[in-house]
């Protein structure tokens, strides 16, 4: 039996379906679960809030693209120690459509922490490695080739050499990347192996029905058991409700991402004593943007092609990055003369960012309108760790002849021209509110834990004490991954759904 992808025109009037399993969300975790459940012969329905994004819908106009295909138009913020943008895709394939496709396995030390601290002894065996092997092969993960680096990635190499960080081309899940640098607004080229292209087609081939523009509002229960979901059919932008839908199924898989999955649980009355959404976490970040003496043309070359791990701070990683210039400008700030100067300088710009597994505290709570209200608290000492690395990057850029460096740290000059002007980065008075950072790696809001009175799901992804309900997305990380999370989201979802479908954990 072959399935299909249903678009707004197909679902506009609403619908009521029955299936063996319903999967909420079609991103990294949801696609993987749908493919396995369908392959095992189950009748699967995937419900996805966003529409399908086709190559023709992809535009370099960042704000226009974000407003349609990112949640809250790309303007969602984490509040707490500061106000930090946090982005996630609202489209078929979820955030995998808009990310940079960097793929890393969980480092051994984090894997060991998950085993020790959350009792996940099952992660010690060969099953997790087999899952990574399958995923890396299927998504064609390979180091970014030199011919698509563009100068910006090579500037990152030179900066990291100066800082003393071992560095190399980043492994990415792409096939035929031409280095257009457009990853954050999709991939018109069709090179990025986002799950809408790489995994969902397999689910559809095995009969899965994929319902787009279908935003789940709550989980349905009967006698304490999850038996389906219901929600609204929404228009392409997600603003208007144009119908109602329900899907009844004895297996409900939540994969709406680390912000929306806990919200769905809370709105459905599953709180587990405050543990649902009570342990949210995100990687924190920092940046240095250098204006070099000659052209870099940062819009050329793979979006994030080069990087390296800090030998000094465990869990801190450096990466090249560029995005739509309008978005960089928004982060850079400035109006009038400042903005016009920035636009003149941008062709000479290169940016190095970092992601860091800081010890943060966070939470996600459902607002009345059903959106996540996420908070992140970052202790000052972790801010100081990031700021000191920003200082090193700034010194390296200046050493390479940069005219000035922008760090986004409040209280510092916007244009740092000498290393003395960067001394504020070494201050112990820096706090979260001073930092410019984006937190796109979000997780841990419904963590996996072997103990029934800890965490939210058991080692097989089943919600503690709620039969019929699984979670298979980034929510289940027991703690931050320290590396880009997509590969691990997919690997955990692969294991969770294979177990639920009685498929081998080791074979292809
Ligand atoms: C700009 C950006 C760059 C990134 N770069 C990288 C990278 O290079 N490498 C990497 O490893 N990671 C990267 N990440 C992170 C990575 O994309 C995520 O960790 C991963 O996609 C999370 O998978 P998920 O299944 O939990 O959520 P998602 O992939 O976000 O999927 C969740 C899906 O659920 C849908 N949904 C939400 N609520 C509902 C609802 N109520 N009803 C129906 N559907 C719903 C969403 O629309 C979405 O499609 C990046 C993220 C962003 C935003
Ligand atoms: S850099 Fe361009 S071609 Fe390469 S994966 Fe990203 S969007 Fe696609």
Per-residue pLDDT of the chain (508 residues; tens, 9 = 90+): 579 999 999 999 999 999 999 999 999 999 999 999 999 999 999 999 999 999 999 988 888 999 999 999 999 999 999 999 999 999 999 999 999 999 999 999 999 999 999 999 999 999 999 999 999 999 999 999 999 999 999 999 999 999 999 999 999 999 999 999 999 999 999 999 999 999 999 999 999 999 999 999 999 999 999 999 999 999 999 999 999 999 999 999 999 999 999 999 999 999 999 999 999 999 999 999 999 999 999 999 999 999 999 999 999 999 999 988 877 777 676 777 777 888 889 999 999 999 999 999 999 999 999 999 999 999 999 999 999 999 999 999 999 999 999 999 999 999 999 999 999 999 999 999 999 999 999 999 999 999 999 999 999 999 999 999 999 999 999 999 999 999 999 999 999 999 999 999 998 8
Q: Which residue is closest in CA terms to ligand 1's atom 6? A: 99
Strand partners, 405: 290, 416
Helix (H, G, I), strand (E, B) or coil at 52: coil
**Closest to 219 in 3D by CA, of 256, 259, 170, 167:** 256
How much distance in Å is there from the Cα of 334 to the middle of ligand 1?
Answer: 30
Ligand 1, atom 2, residue with closest C-alpha: 99
Tell me if 389 CB under 6 Å of ligand 2: no
- CB contact at 8 A, 451 and 461: no
CA of 64 to the centre of ligand 1 (A): 19
Nearest one of 446, 278, 469 to 363, comparing CA atoms: 278
In 3D, which of 235, 227, 230, 233 has the Cα closest to residue 217? 230
Residue with tokens 């709105």: 267
Residue with the smallest CA separation from ligand 2 atom 4 is 177
- Say yes or no: CB of residue 182 within 6 Å of ligand 2: yes
Q: Which atom of ligand 1 is nearest to the CA of 483?
A: 11
Question: Is 147 a residue of the active site?
Answer: no
d(CA 405, CA 413): 9
CA 71/CA 374 separation, integer angstroms: 13
Closest CA to 32 of 210, 257, 199, 258: 199
396's enclosing H/E stretch is helix 380-399
Decide whether any atom of ligand 2 lies within 6 Å of the 183 Cβ.
Answer: yes
Which is it for strands 251-254 and 469-471: parallel, antiparallel or unpaired? parallel
Ligand number, closest to the Cα atom of 104: 1
CA of 171 from ligand 1 middle (Å) equals 19
Q: Residue 233: name the closest of 218, 219, 246, 215 by CA.
A: 215
Among all bound ligands, the one having the nearest atom to the CA of 23 is: 1
β-pairing verdict for 306-309 and 168-169: antiparallel
pTM of the model: 0.98
CA 68 to ligand 2 centroid distance, Å:
20
Domains, the chain, with CATH or none: 4-54+89-108+191-279+445-500 (3.50.50.60), 142-185+281-434 (3.30.410)
Ligand nearest to the CA of 49: 1
CB atoms within 10 A of CB 133: 15
């Amino acid at each position: 039996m072959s399935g299909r992808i249903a678009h707004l025109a197909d679902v506009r009037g609403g619908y009521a379906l029955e299936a063996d399993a319903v999967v909420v969300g079609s991103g990294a975790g949801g696609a993987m679960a749908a493919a396995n459940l369908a392959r095992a012969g189950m009748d699967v329905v995937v419900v996805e809030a966003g529409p399908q994004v086709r190559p023709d819908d992809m535009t370099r106009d960042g704000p226009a693209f974000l407003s349609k295909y990112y949640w809250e138009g790309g303007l969602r913020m984490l509040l707490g120690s500061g106000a930090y943008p946090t982005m996630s895709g609202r489209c078929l394939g979820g955030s995998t459509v808009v990310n940079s496709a960097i793929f890393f396995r969980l480092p051994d030390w984090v894997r060991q922490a998950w085993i020790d601290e959350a009792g996940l002894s099952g992660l010690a065996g060969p099953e997790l490695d087999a899952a990574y092997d399958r995923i890396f092969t299927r998504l064609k993960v390979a180091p970014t080739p030199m011919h698509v680096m563009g100068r910006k990635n090579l500037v990152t190499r030179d900066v990291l050499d100066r800082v003393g960080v071992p560095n190399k081309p980043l492994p990415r899940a792409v096939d035929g990347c031409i280095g257009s640098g457009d990853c954050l607004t999709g991939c018109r080229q069709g090179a990025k192996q986002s799950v809408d292209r790489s995994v969902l087609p397999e689910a559809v081939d095995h009969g899965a029905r994929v319902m787009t523009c279908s935003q789940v509002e709550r989980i349905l229960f009967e006698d304490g058991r999850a038996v389906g979901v219901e929600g609204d059919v929404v228009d392409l932008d997600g603003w208007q409700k144009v119908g109602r839908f329900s899907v009844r199924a004895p297996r409900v898989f939540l994969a709406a991402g680390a912000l929306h999955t806990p919200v769905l649980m809370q709105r459905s009355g599953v709180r587990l004593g405050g543990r649902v959404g009570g342990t949210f976490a995100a990687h924190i970040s920092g940046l240095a943007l250098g204006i070099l003496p000659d052209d870099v043309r940062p819009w050329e070359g793979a979006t994030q092609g080069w990087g390296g791990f800090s030998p000094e701070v465990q869990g801190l990683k450096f990466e090249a990055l560029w995005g739509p210039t309008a978005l960089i400008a928004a982060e850079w700030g400035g109006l009038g003369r400042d903005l016009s100067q920035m636009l003149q300088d941008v062709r000479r710009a290169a940016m190095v960012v970092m992601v860091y597994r800081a010890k943060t505290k966070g939470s996600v709570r459902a607002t009345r309108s059903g959106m996540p209200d996420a908070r992140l608290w970052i202790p000052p000492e972790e801010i100081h760790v990031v700021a000191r690395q920003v200082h090193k990057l700034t010194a390296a850029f200046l050493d390479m002849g940069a005219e000035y460096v922008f760090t986004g740290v409040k209280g510092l000059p916007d244009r740092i021209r000498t290393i003395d002007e960067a001394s504020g980065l070494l201050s112990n008075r820096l706090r979260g509110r001073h930092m410019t950072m984006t937190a796109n790696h979000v997780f841990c809001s419904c963590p996996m834990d072997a103990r029934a009175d800890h965490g939210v799901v058991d080692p097989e992804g089943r919600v503690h004490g709620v039969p019929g309900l699984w979670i298979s997305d980034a929510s289940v990380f027991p703690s931050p991954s320290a590396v880009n999370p997509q590969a691990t989201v997919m690997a955990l979802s692969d294991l969770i759904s294979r177990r639920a479908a009685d498929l081998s954990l080791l074979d292809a």
